[in-house]
A and B are shown apart, each in its own frame.
Chain A
C-alpha cells in the first residue's frame, strides 16, 4: 500500500529516495500535492539526506524548480544532502537555462545518486 499519490518513497541507509510518479509536473495542484507529500515524508526531521528520482518525469514546469529550491534550502539548513537523478535531457535543459544544474547535484540514475552519498 502506497500512502502517497504523487511520490513513491523508499529508504536506504537513512537516505530518503523519492520517485516522482507523474509524467507531467505542470499543474499548480500537482505541484502543491508533491510539496505536501514531501513535507509529510520529512516531517520535522532536520535535514535528512534525500535523493529525488525524476525517471518518470517527461515534462516539468519551471515552478517545480521553486519547490526544489525550497527543499534544497531546508535540507541544507539541517546539514542534510539533496541529490537528484534520472533527469532526461529536455528537463535538464530547464535546469541548465536557469543555471540550477550548478546548484543541484545531479546524477544519471538512482544507483549513481546513491553511491554519491557514500563518497
Chain B
C-alpha cells in the first residue's frame, strides 16, 4: 500500500439520527465527541453467539463495563434484535446455524438504515480467505478468537469514538480485485471499510505477535529447563551405569572368591573317587563344599549351607571358608601344627563347636549355617563326622540300598555354647557316601511340592551300577527336572565320595 488510504478520503457530510459526522479533511483521528458512547457511558450492544457459555462470558464482561447487552443465539435472531431497536455496535461470531456472521453482517451493511453501525466479527482467522469474506460481507472490524475481554472492550471503545460516516460503507464502495493464495476474488467494498478492517486485522496481528513473543520466551525458558534436566538425567544415567558396572565387577570378583571355596577341578584323592556338582541359584551363593587331604592319611570333606542368598550369605560363606582350610595356619580349624612338628587333624566335633563359638558374634545379621563335616581315614575307611543342623549323610553300599544317617546338632551360630556330638561310620570298600545341601531334598516343583528323601534315594540306588560321577550328575538332573520350568530356588550342592582302598 502506497499511502494511508485515509489521506485521500473525501469527506462526505451526512448526519444520521442525531449523530455528528466528521467534517475535516484529515480527521480520521478519533473524535471524542462523536459516538453516543464516547462520553464513557454505556452503549447498547447486540451480540450474536451460538455458544451459550461464550455468550454469557462476553455478556458479563460487557455488562461489567457498563454496557447494555442483547444476545441473539443465531445471526437471524441478532438481526431481529438490531431491527427491533438500533444498537450502538454489533459483535458477532462467524460460525452459527441459521445465519452466519458473514450473512448477518451483509444484511446489516446492505440495509441503508443500519449500514453505519460498527460491526465486529469474531473470527478465528484460521484462513486468510476469512479476510476476503469479511470484506465482502462489509465488516469493518475483526477480533480474533480467542481474545482477551479487555482487547475487545478497547476495540468497541475506539470504534465508537470514530463512527463510520453514513455513506462510507456504500458510497465509495467499488469492485476490488484481490489475489489471495493464487485465487482471484472480486469484492465490493468501501474504502473506509477496507481501511478499518485492515487496521483491525493489523492490530490483531500485533496482539497475536505479542502473545507469540511471550509464548516464545516461555518456551525458551522451558527449553532451557528441559536441557538442564536432560543433562542432569544424562549425568545420573552415566552414574548409574558406572555404579552398575562397578557392581557387576564386584559380583564377578566375589563369585571368583567363592569359586576358590570349591574343590580344584582336578581334585584327586588317593584311594577314593570324588564327584561333585555345585549350582548356585544366584550369581552369589550361600552354599559351598570341598574335599581335600588333611594329612597323609586323612581326607576332610564338607558341605556348608549359609541361610539366605546373595551378598550377605556369600560374604558369610567366604568368612566360614577361611576357617575350613587344610593349610596349617592360625585360622584353620581343621589342622594345626602339633608339638612334635607333625600335623594334627582336629576332631569334627571340635571343629563344629569352634565354628559355633566363632560365629555367635553374628547375632545381628540373623545369618546362620548348616554344615556336615567329615574326616575319612583312608587306610581303615572310618568316617568321623558331625552335623550342624544339616541334612542327613547318605551311604550307598556296593550292591545295597541307600541308607540315611541323620544325626542331631543345631545349626551353627544358632545356640551359644553347645557341644557338638561326633558320629562314626565304618565304610566297606566300594561304599559311596553323599553329602548335599537342603536344595536337593527340599527342591520345590511348581506346586511347591518337595522332591523328598525317597526320590533322592531312588536316584542314588538306580545309578549305583554307574560311575560315581554319573550318579551325582543324575541326582542334579533329577533336581533340575523337578524344578521345571523356573529352576531351583535354592543353591544345589552335591558331593559324592567312593572309598576304594
Contacts and interface: CB of A to CB of B under 8 A. Distances in A.
A73 B363 contact: yes
Interface stretch (A14-22, A57-65, A106-114): A57-65
B408 A99 contact: yes
Interface size class of B (residues with CB under 8 A): 20 to 34
A65 B307 CA distance: 9
Contact of A70 (B363, B416, B438): B363
Nearest to A102: B408
A26 to B, nearest CB: 8
Contacts of B87: none
B410 A99 contact: yes
A81 interface: no
A98 interface: yes
Contact of B307 (A66, A90, A93, A99): A66
B307 A62 contact: yes
Main secondary structure of the interface of B (DSSP, over half): loop
B367 interface: yes
Nearest to A90: B450
A103 B413 CA distance: 13
A73 B416 contact: yes
B409 interface: yes
Interface string B363-382: 11011101000000000000
Interface string A62-77: 1101110110010000
Interface string A88-105: 001001100111101100
A94 B368 CA distance: 14
Contacts of A66: 307-308, 366-368
B363 A98 contact: no
B391 interface: yes
Given A62-B438, A67-B366, A100 B307 contact: no
B391 A97 contact: yes
A99 B409 contact: yes
Interface string B385-409: 0000111000000000000000011
Contacts of B390: 98
B411 A65 contact: yes
**Size class of the A contact interface (CB-based, 8 Å):** 20 to 34
B220 to A, nearest CB: 46
A33 interface: no
B486 interface: no
Contacts of A35: 366
Given A70-B366, A97-B391, A63 B410 contact: no
A64 B414 CA distance: 12
B368 A103 contact: no
A65 B389 CA distance: 11
B415 interface: yes
Interface in B222-278: none
A63 B389 contact: no
Contacts of B8: none
A100 B308 contact: no
B389 to A, nearest CB: 4
Contact of A69 (B366, B370, B438, B448): B366
A63 B411 contact: no
Contacts of A58: 448
Contacts of A73: 363, 416
A35 B365 CA distance: 11
Contacts of A65: 307, 368, 411, 414
Interface string B49-76: 0000000000000000000000000000
A17 B438 CA distance: 31
Given A66-B368, A94-B442, 16 more contacts: A28-B310, A59-B448, A63-B366, A66-B307, A66-B367, A69-B368, A69-B411, A69-B414, A70-B363, A73-B416, A97-B391, A98-B411, A99-B389, A99-B408, A102-B408, A103-B410
30 contacts: A35-B366, A62-B307, A62-B438, A63-B366, A65-B414, A66-B307, A67-B366, A69-B368, A69-B413, A69-B414, A69-B415, A70-B363, A70-B364, A70-B366, A73-B416, A90-B450, A94-B442, A97-B389, A97-B391, A98-B370, A98-B389, A98-B410, A99-B408, A100-B389, A100-B410, A100-B414, A102-B408, A102-B410, A103-B410, A103-B414
Interface of B: 307-310, 363-364, 366-368, 370, 389-391, 408-411, 413-416, 438, 442, 448, 450
